[in-house]
Amino acid sequence: MSFFPDVPTIKYEGPSSRNPLAFRHYNADEIIEGKPMRDHFRFAVAYWHTMRGQGADPFGPGCAVRPWEDGTDSVDMAIKRVRVMFEFLEKLGVGFYCFHDRDVAPEGANLRQTNAILDQVVKVLKEEQQRTGIKLLWGTANLFSNPRYVHGAATSCNADVFAYAAAQVKKCLEVTKELGGENYVFWGGREGYTTLLNTDMKRELDHLAKFFHMAVDYKKKIGFTGQFLIEPKPKEPTTHQYDFDAAACLNFLRQYGLTDHFKLNLETNHATLAGHTMMHDMIVASSAGMLGSVDANRGDLLLGWDTDQFPTDLYLTTSIMMVILDQGGLAPGGLNFDAKVRRESFEPVDLFHAHIGGMDAFARGLKVAAKIRADGVLKDFVKQRYASWDSGIGAEIEQGKVGFAELETYMLNKGNPDKNVSGRQEMLENILNGYIELA
């Protein structure tokens, strides 16, 4: 039985294809920089958007047409949805998926029942993974939907809620391990505040760090070897989220002695909500050796919230792939489409169009980035721009051989600095455009 009877397996047909249900650029086996495309990206589909997103917004309910849904949140429905998800993944040719515990299985009346239900669904997930060879990129616990998390989870003012969250993450770690998950993500759902008038920020941050240390201990205890990832986001649902951006997360991890155990999972729309470009946050993380994985999406510059759109912008995908290639890849991380179709795109086939577009845009971004790297144009320009640091006084500064007094003597003798040269931004943008035109 097929849940997408009208959709064939999506194939690569090349740039001239006009078939909307084909890849024009994503060619999984094509070798770029010595590696097949599929291994550069490690694409994943997000269970919460693709299987659970119904298109609700604050002005109306979801109106997505999903013929396989029976309108219930039953365990049977959860199991059926697993089959739908894996048919979708297979037809799309994507090798990974990601989930929250609550996306895949409903809650029971108490923690014990909830865990038992999760186990039932995990059995089916495992079966489908074995049947298809599709893998779990990362698991995560939903610590934000249930009303118990109204004040946060690890940063709640209610110690019992912290305890419940710990138990939930414990179970989710076990399940992620059971499914061979390659990473585990902590996105701080409601870990933040809406007003400082009722908030003890220092205490909440101490608790958050304590929670992470407990997770590290438990990970060791059960021998889970996946990479832990923190996902920054500056706001939404809270006014201020503690894991604001890459820099704030790195500072937090350093302050609390957690850097050896975590890397970052960066999401485009979160970076832009923080007032950064994705490339900015990626370079912050990557240059600290802390870029672990990417939630691939984009925002809408006209809207101030997390619109989670599919990434189709070639400048965006090119910049992301430049950083990924520069750091030698993302594995064990990957590119997870934390993205949803628009409310108006309510048919099942739209889920395919959306992912195809994202994958094609990344394929082009990869080709452009690889070509720019091979030609060395930007690298050579940057190298030349900093040439004054390669010898003479610049090298002495970098090597720590001189201080203020020596620099004063140097400048008193020289009189004035060497002339500055142009940054050539427009020329570089033109060069980039030239590469994008060719891709």
ω into residue 237 within 30 of 0, thus cis?
Answer: yes
Active-site option among 25, 49, 101, 103:
103
DSSP letter, residue 60: B
- Residue 338 near Ni ion by CB under 5 A: yes
CB of 337 to ligand XLS, least distance (A): 11
**Least distance in angstroms from the C-beta of 231 to Ni ion:** 5
Residue 187 in the binding site for ligand XLS (CB under 6 A): yes
Q: Interface with ligand XLS includes 340 (CB under 6 A)?
A: no
Q: How far is the CB of 334 from ligand XLS (least distance, A)?
A: 13
Q: Cβ(325)–Cβ(376) under 8 Å?
A: no
Task: State which residue, 24 or 332, has the beta carbon closest to ligand XLS.
Answer: 332
Could you list the beta-strand ranges (E) of 51-182.
Answer: 96-100, 135-140
Binding Ni ion (rule: CB under 5 A), the pick from 93, 295, 296, 355 is 295
Minimum CB distance to ligand XLS smaller for 139 or for 348: 139
Nearest to 146 by CA among 116, 102, 95, 177: 102
Contact range with Ni ion by CB under 5 A, out of 190-198, 298-306, 373-381, 420-428 = 298-306
What residue ranges in 222-277 does DSSP mark as E strands? 227-231, 240-241, 262-267
Q: Which of residues 140, 176, 272, 319 is near ligand XLS by CB under 6 A?
A: 140
Binding at 140: pick from Ni ion, ligand XLS, none (beta carbon under 5-8 Å per type):
ligand XLS
Instruction: Given the residues 25, 40, 49, 100, select the one marked as catalytic.
Output: 100
Distances (CA, A) of 222 to 174, 212, 431: 8, 15, 51
Dist. CA 161–CA 154, nearest whole Å: 8
Residue nearest to ligand XLS (CB): 187
Residue 129 is a binding residue for ligand XLS (CB under 6 A): no
Nearer to ligand XLS, 185 or 393 (CB): 185
Phi, psi of 107 (to 5 degrees): -85, 150
Buried b (16+ CB within 10 A) or exposed e, 296-321: bbbbeeeeeebbbbbbeebebbbbbb
Amino acid in the structure at residue 191: E
Of 53, 143, 140, 133, nearest to 96 by C-alpha is 133
Q: Are 278 and 270 in contact (CB under 8 A)?
A: no
- Nearer CB in complex with ligand XLS: 107/231: 231
Q: Does 338 bind ligand XLS (CB under 6 A)?
A: yes
Could you say which of 243, 267, 281, 360 contacts Ni ion (CB under 5 A)? 267
- The size of the interface with Ni ion (CB under 5 A), counted in residues, is 4
Which residues share a beta bridge with 294? 266, 335
Q: List the one residue out of 65, 72, 85, 189 whose CA is nearest residue 134.
A: 85
CB of 231 to ligand XLS, least distance (A): 5
Catalytic, 40? Answer no
267 lines the binding site for ligand XLS (CB under 6 A): yes
Q: Does 101 bind ligand XLS (CB under 6 A)?
A: no
Q: Does 103 bind ligand XLS (CB under 6 A)?
A: no
103 binds Ni ion (CB under 5 A): no
The only residue of 103, 204, 306, 360 in contact with ligand XLS, by rule CB under 6 A: 306
User: Given candidates 295, 316, 341, 432, which one binds ligand XLS under the rule CB under 6 A?
Assistant: 295
> What SS3 state is found at 176?
helix
Query: φ and ψ at 227, to 5 degrees?
Result: -80, 130
From Ni ion, ligand XLS, none, which one binds at residue 172 (CB under 5 to 8 Å depending on kind)? none
Residue 40 touches which member of ligand XLS, Ni ion, none, C-beta under 5-8 Å by kind: none
Asked if 144 and 165 count as a contact pair (C-beta separation under 8 A), the reply is no
**Shortest Å distance, C-beta 282 to Ni ion:** 15
Structure tokens at 389: 């640091």
Which of ligand XLS, Ni ion, none lies near 174, with the C-beta cut-off 5 to 8 A by kind? Answer: none
Select 309 or 319, whichever has its Cβ closest to Ni ion. Answer: 309
Integer CA distances (angstroms), 257 to 162, 209, 218, 240, 265, in order? 21, 9, 16, 23, 19
Q: Which of 42, 102, 177, 233 is close enough to bind ligand XLS by CB under 6 A?
A: 233
Indicate whether 102 belongs to the interface with ligand XLS (CB under 6 A).
no
Query: Nearest Cα to 324, choosing from 373, 275, 358?
Result: 373
- Altogether, the residues listed in the chain come to a count of 439
- Is 100 one of the catalytic residues? yes
Known catalytic residues are: 100, 103
Residue numbers at the binding site for ligand XLS (CB under 6 A): 100, 140, 185, 187, 231, 233, 267, 295, 306, 338
Residue numbers at the binding site for Ni ion (CB under 5 A): 267, 295, 306, 338
